[in-house]
Amino acid sequence: MDSKTLIALALGLGSLVAPRAARAADRTFAAGSLIIPMDLSYQSTGMFQAYGLIYQLLRQGVHVHWIIDPGKTWHAAACNTAGDECTWDCAIEGSGVKCAYPTASPDVSITTKTIWDDKGGVPRDTPLGMHRYRGGPFAIDAADKAKALAIIDAWNDMSKWAANPWAMRTVFHVTSVHEATAAFTGNSARELVAPPSIAVFSDGNEKIATGYLRAAGIPQSSGAEFPANNCSGTTCGPGTTNPDMLTPESIAGDLGTCNAPNNNHQNGALFKPDGTPAYCQIMSMHWGVNQRERVECEGGCPATQAECQGEKFTFNGHEVVAEVRAFLAYPTHFFAECQAVNAYENLVPNPNWPYLDDEGRDGHFLTTIGTPPACPAGTCSNADYECVQNACAGAACCLPKPATWQNMPGYEVAPQPATAEVKVLRADVPYNQFDGAFGTTGGSEPAYNLSTYLNTMYKNNRQVTLLTGMNGPGAQDLWMSGYLDGCGDIILKPGQQRSELQECEGKISYLGGHAYATTVPVASGSQSQGTRLFLNALFEAQCAALPPGTDSDGDGVDDDSDPFPDDPAQCGDSDSDGCDDCAGGHFDPANDCAAADAGPGGNTTGDGGGCCGTGSGPGASLFASALVALGFLRRRRSVRGRSGQARTCRR
């Protein structure tokens, strides 16, 4: 039977596995598992420091699960609105008390007790009862409880810092932690396994990013805190006390000379000497278009390239964009805020002197350039554009005026949406986890429009907008995220698995607004919500989580399709015969009856009790063969997808 037939058979029998596929990452957590709440009912003062705690748990080898209900929806009205009340209670379920602000529907229901309370008012081991946790809580398996508690207690207790210097930080708040008193099942949207390595672009406004990181207590790779102020030329960069603060010059790398430009886009500080990424992600907060357009040469750049006498390029802002684009050919992440969004996204390569750009210096990570309207009469109907002769394949066309923010075709700056008008488009995406209304902020670029004048679009029509104004997406977009060049959907379609996106690598996140607050306690409608989005993005990066196609227990079923990813003897019952498909320690539905009846090690003491009353005939065997074939084909694609070679997406 050929592979196409097997695939068709598996698709045709999809109804047999549909209940499990709909919640492919469901995971059962035993009593004693730890919960880091992320809703305002139980985490407000400790909200930002929760991310620092997660960073330290990962650094010290504790896996953390991000629990997000894939079917969750956003309730735009305050939950206590008469006639439009939420069906869930704000704190203890059954209290009848509704939140006085909008929330997403709950992610998981758990009966818990208090371990740490961020407000300090609830003693340890106090029973809480049932709470329907919102806002993307984090969970730690009961098997890791002892190790995790030692880290949590050191994080939350300053008297333990001398013995645990890694917990020392200037900004200190207690992080709430709960313990499950009964087993529960939740959707592990991301299993976090490693702390993200973070580079901050010293773009003149880097203290915005470092302020967010300091509020969370997340350190540099050296263990030192990120600096509170902007860098000077000698205090930041590789070899300094702030190794993860990267200057524009260090990112651009060796540019060659004006006679012989260096077109290697992987020789700056974002890369190791072997050309692979040195970091999981980079953050750029306010790099301006004027800085991007800067080109400098040793001793000054000649007026034309013909006049070059071997002068060395010392900086080219377009190369910074190229190095970030090359960085995104790997499973990495790039975050930009405010003016940095346009500086990167709207760059069009300029082959003319002094830029001498190749195609690698293209911005437009998420958007198309659009089509400039022709202007044969010499005028443009949009006042922000001017008619430029011979600019479009030898014809006159309308291009943005240099004085406008966009400067190059692409995003246009939009007015700040009112907080009450913000639309939450997908509450189930990890980037978009927060509780309460999102408070907008101002600045030179508070939001973005896709240019209707140029007919700009998101590449491949991907849905990348997560927060937007009343008329969005595409108008007053606030929070956007997508794969480089529209390779795949960040926002997964119903039933779509992350393993289907293995050939997509780098992710980009854009946030409108100059700077968000780090004020706690976080409140509904506050500008602190934007800081939380920044911190979400750190841990959504692929380089912080198990890669698609991971099979932790070696049973032949990928973790994203295995409801028991740490138990090789359990993976579900796809053929509905009453026996687990992995009863024998690996995926084998055709023989799971015998394996279950035999028991561990093949003895005859198993308790299967003749579990295969149904589904044990030839059809089950054929179905199993189809699933095995699908797994084999997917693993083959995974090998190609993780080759580490820079490539474009073939979709």
**Per-residue model confidence (pLDDT) at position 643:** 31
> 438: which 2 tokens?
């999102």
**Per-residue model confidence (pLDDT) at position 621:** 38
Could you tell me the CA-to-CA distances from 463 to 89, 366, 440, 447 in Å, in that order?
32, 10, 21, 17
Could you tell me the CA-to-CA distances from 534 to 160, 232, 284, 537, 541 in Å, in that order?
29, 24, 11, 5, 12
- C-alpha 448/C-alpha 451 separation (Å) is 9
What residues in the chain have per-residue pLDDT under 70? Answer: 1-24, 233, 403-409, 491-502, 546-552, 558-563, 566, 574, 595-651
CB neighbour list of residue 646: distance below 8 Å, 6 or more residues apart: 326, 329, 330
Helix (H) or strand (E) holding 336: strand 333-337
**Per-residue model confidence (pLDDT) at position 419:** 97
**Per-residue model confidence (pLDDT) at position 561:** 55
> Rounded to 5 degrees, what angle do the CA atoms 208, 212, 215 make?
135
Helix (H) or strand (E) holding 149: helix 145-156
In the numeric block, the tokens 């059954």 are attached to 94
- DSSP label of 328: T
CB neighbour list of residue 439: distance below 8 Å, 6 or more residues apart: 419, 525, 526, 527, 528, 529, 530
From the list 113, 108, 125, the residue with the least C-alpha distance to 38 is: 108
* Cis amide prior to 521 (ω within 30 degrees): yes
Give the pLDDT confidence of 190-240 residue by residue, as tens digits: 999 999 999 999 999 999 999 999 999 999 999 999 999 998 768 898 889
Give the pLDDT confidence of 42-78 residue by residue, as tens digits: 999 999 999 999 999 999 999 999 999 999 999 999 9
Helix (H, G, I), strand (E, B) or coil at 425: coil
Q: What DSSP letter does each residue of 573-610 carry, written as one string?
A: -TT-SSS-TTTTSS--GGGHHHHHHH-GGG-S-----S
- C-alpha 252/C-alpha 201 separation (Å) is 11
**Per-residue model confidence (pLDDT) at position 402:** 73
Strands 184-192 and 447-450: unpaired
Task: Provide Rg for the chain, Cα atoms.
Answer: 27
**Per-residue model confidence (pLDDT) at position 254:** 97
Bridge partners of 27, per DSSP, are: 186
From the list 286, 363, 274, the residue with the least C-alpha distance to 322 is: 363
- DSSP label of 131: E
- Written as one letter, the residue type at 439 is G
**Per-residue model confidence (pLDDT) at position 104:** 98
